[in-house]
Chains A and B, each alone.
Chain A
Amino acid sequence: MDLRFGDSKPTDEERAAVDAVLGPPGSAWEGAEDRDAADLRWARGGRAARGRRDLLLPGLHALNDRVGWVSEGGLDYLCRRLTVPPAEGYGVATFYSMFSVRPRPATVVRVCTDLVCGGAGLCGEVEARLASVPGVGVEASPCLGLCERGPGAVVVRAGPPAVAFPDPAPPRNHGAPPPGPPPVVLRARPQSPDGLAIPAPPAIGERGPGRSPGSGRGGAGEKTHATLTLAPATPDTLTLAALDPETFSSEAPPAPLPQAGQDTLILLRRIGSVDPASLDDYRAHGGYTALRRAFAIGPAEVIREVTDSGLLGRGGAAFPTGRKWQATAARPEQPHYVVCNADESEPGTFKDRVLMEGDPYALVEAMTVAGYAVGAHRGYLYLRGEYPLALQRLEHAIAQARARGLLGDDVLGQGYAFDIEIRRGAGAYICGEETALFNSIEGYRGEPRSKPPFPVEKGLFGGPTAENNVETLVNVLPILTMGAAAYAAIGTEESTGPKLFCVSGSVARPGVYELPFGATLGELLSLAGKPDNLRAVLLGGAAGGFVRADETDIPLTFEGTRAAGTTLGSGVVLAFDDTVPLPRVLLRIAGFFRDESCGQCVPCRVGTVRQEEALHRIVARTGADAADDIALLRDVGRAMREASICGLGQTAWNAVESAIDRLGAYE
């Protein structure tokens, strides 16, 4: 490969950001400034450098975190270090919404304007307030996974703070103040643009790690950026946070746990009562008994337990987990991989975030069990880029587990080697599709691959890969501790075990609910506080379908929802009362799919655009007036469902179709 790099040079900051991920360059062949005599005698790099292409995404994050955007010089330097063609690097950088290849303000406020939050007004108000502040930009964002306490927003500040800031210790239990030195106040409390003092911030911020990405590769402890999640966000708190994310409160919010304290909980058992930073506390709450049992019974028996438990994947596809593991374990090719899909980006979904923030060690343990069962020695945890607190807690949990011999060369002294690497997504819903996720980790555009071959045969880096959702993996722990038979006794015959539901929208107590499979929609809604004027429920998120308010007797099981002509998806229950304008909700869903289509196949790339256009045309029309466009929507929707490459295009018409057919949206 004879790559041509342009004349653009990286700035010192950009060079430092890339070097923090990749280490200093070894020779002029991979970007060192000084060429020595040896460099002239032989070429270095080649296959070894290309073998590190999976560091392209961490490298782009490093550039983006340090300077706020990806410049020509920075991108070229990163590409030279990894022997990635600059055109391909540019193609990857422009794929993700969190990166920009044009200069932009160092601080970006991203306000969720999706189904639940609908923060378009908030976005406008914050934009107006911050219009005169240099270095701050405001953007509308798709669902940030903060639906239970929206409107949500993320403030991202690139670059180190003006004054060195003490590294925050990992937060302790909810509500407790962080230990260590108090935050240094950098400057006087900022004033709002109209000159009025801004009230002190409520304790609702979640501060991101501010370290270099790449989980432990270089940049130890040095703050290169700040990420802050706010929910509920107000114009006041957002303005304050945008002006100075560092001094904004770093206290974690009390996790809204509607069922806290109930003994019947299995998946949420520890959340809220265990210290997410403490491995000892996790073990005191029953942690690592599942892994010990796994070692005691051996990989084949673990797979048998998982198969017998009847566990179905909780990410939306409901594929039998035991069968997936068995198929992966049986492949002769090496190495095998375990991938945890934590790219939860479906509007209305936030259960995985609650699990990862509240019980991070459980996911680490579950991934280790999965790795042991399928014969993998490496696990990748692909976490969506908008979850700074989950990133921080999982990084801490993995480091602690590694330090205590629960990850590494000799897990629990059993001679089994396993380690986990976290990969941060960069704003692309499509990367939750399993094969797109592999491409994203490998440093390619997050476009889905065509199946077959399936991931169990040819997945990450071409190896057999077991790819599971966070909730699926966490279910493996109770299967091993209570035994397959006891687990399978929970729920129904076909849908076994407990299930997490993300309830949001027009309910009194939005949040994550854990119920055994088989509870009805009505039971769940009454737990969460069903409104009197309920109009419709969106089951399964944007890719799911609407059901009517009088269909609350639908059992929340895979087979029950299927029989009712809808889907359970990943467990989203989004309630709409009769004040919500349905055509506008449908437009937002269509806009979401248009934005998030990767653009690879024609039915989805153009079809999602035509769907949105048709919905715009009929937004205020009904009956015969809308008939033309509804026929057109049906035609386009059918082609998207039948001919798209992946699930995104195949489901992009579900919600709209169900709104037309079940709710009579345009009658």
Chain B
Amino acid sequence: MTAIPLQPPRRLVEFTLDGAATRVPEGATLLDACRAAGKDVPTLCEGDTLTPKNACRVCVVEVEGARTLAPACSRAAEPGMSVHTDTERTRHSRRLVLELLASSVDLSTTPRAAAWIVEYGAEPGRFGADAARLNEEPKVDNDLYVRDYDKCILCYKCVDACGEQWQNTFAIAVAGRGFDARIAVEHDAPLTDSACVYCGNCIEVCPTGALSFKSEFDMRAAGTWDESAQSETTTVCAYCGVGCNLTLHVQDNEIVKVTSPHDNPVTHGNLCIKGRFGYQHVQNRD
């Protein structure tokens, strides 16, 4: 019989969430509590496999007694707290964050962004036609993936995934400051001259489509990308013996991109260059 190790018991924290008494395990964030209670708090820079950087501020909630709003994704629940997730203050900040983002970057490939903009009544156009935008050209410097920083919201997820949280390659970082801050490799060189190992784990965590497979980028440019026509099949990578799970996204009987299930206890959505990009042999039928 296999012994199943039990986690040490965790104390429960009691606090009030939108007026209702709530109990969550110690260390849980307010966002965890919201999700457990079935509340829909919008998030952009939060990712299920990474420690959130709480940089986007779209998940802010109101903690009674606090001068400023708190990011739900990283504020731990504390005993006795009284938290409100849907007040005029939180709605105002969320609306403004969406307006500020949508007026400066392209959110067209950000899942749910369009719906939130409607839900919170955001009007990105009100900053005028001359409002500063990123206006970055897509960086296409290799055959595997494209960096389209016009869509980048600087959530730091790719930096964390490439760096100490997962890949430990440290090929990318934030460079510059303020509105001019950008994700960059060393010396802002082309990707091919950088430390990048093309694991594609940054694509896996990118919430806006700023990082995408070259195949997806080309198909979107040609107008042939159609997610509704795609099927997903999760299988085991055949390259080595680790047994990573691959999810093949197939459109018209062609693999168009490869992701990996985040709930896999071994890989948590991470792959290597072969699993992520080495699928051409599958579809070479000659």
Contact = CB atoms under 8 A, between A and B. Distances in A.
Given A3-B170, A88-B173, A606 B179 contact: yes
Contact of B178 (A4, A597, A610, A632): A597
B54 A90 contact: no
Contacts of B283: none
A599 B179 contact: yes
A87 B103 contact: no
Given A72-B187, A603-B97, A609-B132, A598 B170 contact: no
A524 B101 CA distance: 44
A87 B184 contact: yes
B96 A636 contact: yes
A87 B176 contact: no
A86 interface: yes
Contacts of A606: 100-101, 103-104, 179
Nearest to A600: B55
A187 interface: no
Nearest to A450: B54
B209 to A, nearest CB: 18
B177 A613 contact: no
Which of A76, A605, A613 is packed against the most chain B CB atoms within 10 Å?
Answer: A605
Contact of B176 (A94, A594, A636, A643): A94
B194 interface: yes
Contacts of B273: none
A4 B68 CA distance: 42
A617 B128 contact: yes
Given A605-B154, A639-B96, A90 B179 contact: no
Interface in B157-199: 163, 168-181, 184-189, 193-195
A485 interface: no
B42 to A, nearest CB: 13
A544 interface: no
B55 A87 contact: no
A206 to B, nearest CB: 28
Interface string B25-61: 0000000000000000000000000000111111010
A90 B170 contact: no
B173 A595 contact: no
**Chain A interface mostly helix, strand, loop or mixed?**
helix
Most buried by A among B58, B131, B186: B186
A434 interface: no
B11 interface: no
Contacts of B154: 599-600, 602, 605
A101 to B, nearest CB: 7
Interface string A541-581: 00000000000000000000000000000000000000000
A356 interface: no
Contacts of B181: 598-600, 605
A613 B133 CA distance: 12
A89 interface: yes
A95 B173 contact: no
B93 A603 contact: yes
A452 B68 CA distance: 13
Contact of A87 (B57, B75, B195): B195
Size range of the chain A interface in the assembly? 35 or more
A650 B93 CA distance: 13
A66 to B, nearest CB: 19
A642 interface: yes
Given A635-B92, A642-B93, A644-B57, A599 B174 contact: yes
A602 B171 contact: no
B131 A4 contact: no
A428 interface: yes
B93 A639 contact: yes
A471 interface: no
B169 to A, nearest CB: 8
B178 A85 contact: no
B69 A643 contact: yes
Contact of A603 (B100, B130, B132): B100
Contact of B173 (A87, A607, A617): A87
Interface string A75-92: 110000000011111110
Given A87-B170, A88-B173, A428-B177, A602 B195 contact: no
A599 B180 contact: yes
A6 B193 contact: yes
Contact of B89 (A4, A608, A632, A642): A642
A610 to B, nearest CB: 6
Contacts of A603: 57, 93, 96-97, 100
Given A86-B187, A87-B194, A88-B170, A450 B74 contact: yes
Contacts of A599: 154, 174, 176-181
B71 interface: yes
A645 interface: yes
Interface string A438-452: 000000010000101
B171 A87 contact: yes
A75 B96 CA distance: 39
A430 to B, nearest CB: 8
A90 B57 contact: no
Contacts of B24: none
Contacts of B153: 602
Contacts of A76: 186
Contacts of A91: 173-175, 184
A602 B55 contact: yes
Contacts of B186: 6, 75-76, 85-87, 89-90
A74 B97 CA distance: 39
A625 to B, nearest CB: 15
Contacts of B10: none
B81 to A, nearest CB: 12
A632 B187 contact: no
A605 B132 CA distance: 12
Given A595-B178, A602-B57, A632-B126, A650 B100 contact: no
A1 interface: yes
A61 interface: no
A638 interface: yes
Interface in A606-641: 606-610, 613, 617, 632, 635-636, 638-639, 641
Interface string A58-80: 00000000000000100110000
A242 B178 CA distance: 30
A639 B76 CA distance: 22
A386 interface: no
A269 B180 CA distance: 45
A6 B190 CA distance: 12
A607 B178 CA distance: 10
16 contacts: A4-B194, A87-B185, A87-B195, A90-B188, A91-B174, A95-B177, A450-B54, A452-B76, A594-B178, A599-B180, A603-B57, A603-B100, A610-B103, A610-B131, A636-B100, A643-B96
Given A8-B187, A95-B177, 16 more contacts: A75-B187, A85-B171, A87-B184, A87-B194, A88-B170, A89-B186, A91-B174, A94-B175, A95-B175, A452-B76, A599-B181, A603-B97, A605-B154, A605-B179, A632-B126, A645-B54
Ordered nearest first, which 10 A-B pairs have the shortest CB separation?
A: A85-B170, A599-B181, A639-B96, A91-B173, A86-B186, A606-B100, A4-B195, A643-B93, A87-B173, A597-B178
